[in-house]
Structure 1
């Protein structure tokens, strides 16, 4: 299964995924890492693992549909079959959804449908819920509304700070995402 990983920031989930690929735990070839931010550290991580890294900004295009069409062209150029979102902070539009039906996967730092959107960890912490977690799901036209593939709960301890809760969530993400991708890649029969 040939995949592209889309990320907007540090790339710690990319790092967890690529290490699992290198250990041959995931039957996936990471053909490309794409970021919408030219200074995202994920691009450096990609280079460190000899993975092609490309970046361009939506601001360089007249509208979102033109940006997505260019991104789709890039994914086609690299013969990508699956799109893996790893901290990609943009809503996926119809262009990519139609090109990759049920083949765009995201990880979200809450137990969806609770706390969707940009600040899942902070929103859960502020709400003082006793439990939050991590969700891996398929992307649809909504915001964090696609079919759930897997979830894992994380207890919010009384002594947790926002930072300690973030660390606990990231630990689960770095374990759960590669595990789910390993299962999907194992069962994938090709497009």
Structure 2
């Protein structure tokens, strides 16, 4: 069976990227490989993580292109050059536009550190603490035309403690992110996810 090719877009340290790499190398995600990691930041540690595992690491400077569409067209070209079937956003700090969505609709996943639809956008953990919630968590979802909005695949809850700071809550949520993102990728590649409107049904 030929390997399925994953592409990852990242802007930062890439801890969720590392989790996906580890789960592929450990055999939890089977018959798949990461073909390329693309970052919009030259200093992103995600690129170094990719290189350490023999994965093509590509920096594309968004400021080198006059428009978002032209920048995304370059990203798309790199993804297609590597035969990418599934795109994962792993701390990618740009809003995905129509160029990429048109090409990868239903084939692009994101992970967000909140129980969507609550606390969309930046600083979700801070938002949760300021709101006074008792439970926080993380969500893997399909990417659609709105930020942190697409059909939900998996969610995991984390208790909010009385002495939590943004940092401590973020760390506990991240532990769960590293578990549910590989699970969602595995389910996708095994053909077990079916989108029905707003719902994602997991097939047996």
Q: TM-score range by the shorter chain?
A: over 0.9
After TM superposition, give the deviation of residue 187 of structure 1 in Å: 2.1
Q: Which residue of 2 aligns with 1:3?
A: 6
Q: Is the 8 A contact 1:112 1:144 kept in 2?
A: yes
Q: Is the 8 A contact 1:26 1:186 kept in 2?
A: no
- Listed one character per residue, the Cα deviations across residues 107-142 of structure 1 (whole Å, up to 9, x for unaligned) are 000000000001111111221211111000000010
Q: TM-score normalized by structure 1?
A: 0.96
Q: Which residue of 1 aligns with 2:27?
A: 24
Runs of 4+ residues over 2 Å off in structure 1 = none
Across the aligned residues of Structure 1 and Structure 2, the Cα RMSD in angstroms comes to 1.0
Q: Is the 8 A contact 1:46 1:52 kept in 2?
A: yes
Q: Which residue of 2 aligns with 1:118?
A: 122
Taking the aligned partners of 1:65 and 1:164, their CA distance within structure 2 comes to 38
Of residues 17-26 and 121-130 in structure 1, the stretch that sits farther from structure 2 once superposed is 121-130
Between Structure 1 and Structure 2, which shows a larger proportion of strand residues?
Answer: 2
The number of aligned residues is: 188
- Which gives a bigger RCO, structure 1 or 2 (Cα 8 Å, sep 6+)? 1
Taking the aligned partners of 1:43 and 1:53, their CA distance within structure 2 comes to 5
Q: Which residue of 1 aligns with 2:16?
A: 13
Q: TM-score normalized by structure 2?
A: 0.90
1:81 aligns with 2:112: no
After TM superposition, give the deviation of residue 147 of structure 1 in Å: 0.5
1:166 aligns with 2:173: no
Taking the aligned partners of 1:179 and 1:71, their CA distance within structure 2 comes to 26
Any idea what SS the aligned residue of 1:44 has?
Answer: helix
Unmatched segments (≥5 aa) in structure 2: 193-204
* Equivalent residues in 2 for 1:1-191, closer than 5 Å: 1-27=4-30, 28-187=32-191
